[in-house]
A and B are shown apart, each in its own frame.
Chain A
Amino acid sequence: MRPSAFNVRVPLANGEVFLMNTLTDAQVVVSDDVVAVLDRLDSGAADAHAVVQGEREALATLEENGFLVRQRSSERAALESYFAEFREDTSQLRVTILTTLQCNFACDYCYQGDHAGFARPAERMSLDTARQAAAWIAKQVEEVQPRQLVLTFFGGEPLLNVPAMFEIAGRSSKYAASRGVTQTVNIITNGLLLTPEVVECMVPLGLTGVKVTLDGDPETHDRMRPLRGGQGTFDRIIENVRRVAPLVPITIGGNFDLETAARYPALLDLLKAQDFAGRIVKVAFKPIIRRAGQERSSGVIPLTPVEADGRTPNGSCVTAAGPSTGRAAGMARCSPCDSCNLIDDEIAYLREETQRRGFPTPDGVHMGPCEIHRRHSHTIGPDGSLYACPGFTGEFALAVGHIDGRCEPGHAAAARRFDRLAPWRQCGDCPFIPVCGGGCAVAAHAELGDMDAPSCHRRSIEAALTSLAEEAVGE
Chain B
Amino acid sequence: MKVKVLKNAQKAPTRDMCPWMITVALESVK
Contacts and interface: CB of A to CB of B under 8 A. Distances in A.
B4 A188 contact: no
Given A366-B16, A370-B20, A28 B1 contact: no
Interface residues of A, number: 69
A47 interface: no
Nearest to B13: A25
Interface string B1-30: 111111111101111111111111101111
A277 interface: no
Nearest to A184: B29
A466 interface: no
Contact of A321 (B4, B7, B22, B29): B22
Contacts of A382: none
A320 B3 contact: no
Main secondary structure of the interface of A (DSSP, over half): mixed
Interface stretch (A29-37, A216-224, A397-405): A29-37
Contacts of B25: 251, 281-282, 284, 362
A391 B7 contact: no
Contacts of B7: 25-27, 472
B10 to A, nearest CB: 5
Contacts of A369: 15
B24 A370 contact: no
A435 B30 CA distance: 21
Interface string A300-343: 00000000000000000000111011000000000000000000
A4 B29 CA distance: 33
A186 B29 contact: yes
A473 B16 CA distance: 23
Contacts of B20: 322, 367-368, 370, 439-440, 442-443, 455
* 4 shortest interchain CB distances as A-B pairs: A322-B21, A24-B9, A209-B28, A440-B20
Interface of A: 16, 21, 24-31, 33-34, 37, 54-55, 57-58, 61-62, 64-66, 85-86, 89, 94, 96, 150, 152, 154, 184-186, 188, 208-209, 211, 249, 251, 253, 281-282, 284, 286, 320-322, 324-325, 360, 362, 366-371, 377, 389-391, 435, 439-440, 442-443, 455, 472-473
9 contacts: A28-B3, A37-B1, A186-B29, A251-B24, A286-B21, A390-B18, A435-B13, A472-B6, A472-B7
